[in-house]
Structure 1
Amino acid sequence: MRTYRKEEASSGRSDTSYEEPDLYEVLGKYYDVWYEDQVEDTQFYLRLAEQVGGPVLECMCGTGRSLIPLVEEGYEVWGFDRSDSMLDRLTAKMEHMDDDVQSRASVHHADMRTFECPRRYRLIVVPFNAFLHLLEREGQEAALRNVAEHLEEGGRFVMSIFNPRLDRPEELVRHRGTKTMINGEIVSKFEAQTFDQPRQRTTVHYFIDISRQDREMRRVTACFTIRYMAYQEAVDLMESCGLEVLETYGDWNFGPFTKNSDMMVFVAKRSP
C-alpha cells in the first residue's frame, strides 16, 4: 500500500471552500462505530465495478469503509481524503491485511479540486454526501472537472447526496442511537440542524456522550456546514463540467428517484 502524507500531496492553492476545522479530528474515533453497519452503498459500488471494471478512484475515502471492500474484492483502488485523522484510521486497518491486498491500495492526502493522478479510472466514486462539503460553486466546478478529466471513456462516476427536506424543525436535538464499545464505553449520539436557505447551507451540530461505570460521563461536540443541492441543480452542475448523467436512483437498490426519496445517487459518464 502506498501512502502519501500531507506535506507530500497537498496543493498550494488556498482552501476557501472549507470554513470549518477538520470535523473528523474530533469525531474520527467514533465514525466507524456509527457507520460500520452501513454496507448498502458499498454493495452498490461493487455491483457497478462488476459492470465496468477497475481501476477505481474513491474521492474523500475517509476510513476506508468502501475502499477496503473494493480492494478485498480484487480491484486496484486509489483513494484520497483531506482529513489526516481519517486517513490514519484507514492505513491502520490496512496494515493488518495481507500484502497482496495492501498492494492494490494507494492512499493519499489530497483535495478533490486539485488532485492529480497518473492515470484514468473506470469507476470514480464520491460517497455519502462528501461532495456537499464544497461550499462554493467555484470549488464544486473545479472538483467535477477534475473528475471528468480522470474518468476513462466508458467509465462511470457515482455521486450520492441527500435529497433536501427543509421542513425539518431547526435546533431540535435528535437522539441518533446508542452503542457499546469493546472497551465498555457507552456512546450516545445526538445532533441538531439549522438551515441558511438563501445560501443553501445547513449546519449540523453533533453531541457525543461517552460514559463508563468507572468514569464520569464526558461529551464531545463538533459541527460542520454543508451546501445542499436540489436535483436539477446537481444535474446541471455535472453537465456543465463535462459529465453526462445517465441515471439517478433514489436508494442503493437501484430504485427510481422521486421527490420523496431520501437520497439522490447519480451515475454519470464523460460527455462526448
Structure 2
Amino acid sequence: MHVIVTGGSSGIGLAIAKLYASRGNRVSLLARHQGRLEQAQAEILSLPGIKSSQVQIASVDVASAAQAASSVESCEGSFGPCDILIAAAGIVEPCAFDAMPATVFDEQVSINLLGTANAVRAVYKGMKDRRDGRIMMISSGAALIGIFGYTAYCASKSALSGFAEALSAEAAAFGVRVSICFPPDTLTPQYRREISMRPAEAEILMDSVKPWSAETVAARIVRGVDRGKAKVHFGWSLAMLAYFGPLIKPPLMWWFSRKTRKIIGKKAGSGLGEGGRLRF
C-alpha cells in the first residue's frame, strides 16, 4: 500500500507516516524543506523493521498546483498509485486581523486550504479510475469556533469542512472515501512557535483544552482512516462543539467577549496597544 503524507516532515504528518511505515507500507513524505524531509526520513528508517525502500521524500510547496501534481506523479512512479492521502500540510500565524499583513493571511489560506485541494486533486483522478482510495484532510479544532487572532487560520480550516463534505458526495459513487479530522492543540514544532505568538485573548479559549501528543493524535487519525470514519474528533469538549455548536457557541462567545474586553481594557490602561506594543 502506498501512503502519501503532505506536511510529512514533522508533527502530526511525521507521526502518521511512522505508523504507516511500521505496518510495512510504502510512504512518501511531501513538505517544503528538504533538510527537514531528510531528517524525517532518517527518523522513520531508524525504527525497527523498516527498509530504506519503503520511504521516499519530495520537496514541494503544495500551495502550487503544478508542484503538487508533479511531485505526486513522481512519487506514484516510484511506489505505485496512491492508496491513502493524508493532507497534513498546514501553517498558523496568530495575529489580530487588522495587524496581520495580507501576505500572512493569504499564505495561511493558500497552504491550509488550497494546498489541501491541490494534493487531493493530484491523487483523486487515479483513485476514481481505480474506484478505490482514501483521503484524510487534517483540519483543526479551530475550525469549530472563531478564535481571537486566528481569522486566517479559522477561515482556512473551516473551509476544509465544506470541501470535504462536498467532495465526499462526489467521490462516494466511485469508491473513494473522503474524511476530515479536527485535532486539538498538538505538541509539535509548529505549536511551540505558535504559542510564542498567541494573543492573551486567545488563551482564554484555547488553554481550556490541554495539548495532545502528536503520536496520540496520529493514532486516532489512522484508526479513523482504518474504520472509514467521515469525521474524527478529539476529546469531549471539541466533540460537543462539533455536534452541538449552535447551542453551545452563543453563550460561550458571550462569555468570551466579556473576558476579551477586560484584557483589552487592561492593555489600554497600561499604555499597551494590540500585540503588546506601546502606544504613543
TM above 0.5, yes or no, is no
For the aligned pair, the TM-score class normalised by the smaller chain equals 0.3 to 0.5
TM-score, length-scaled by structure 2: 0.44
TM-score, length-scaled by structure 1: 0.45
Which structure has the larger Rg over C-alpha atoms? 2
Q: Relative to total residues, which structure has the larger strand share, 1 or 2?
A: 1
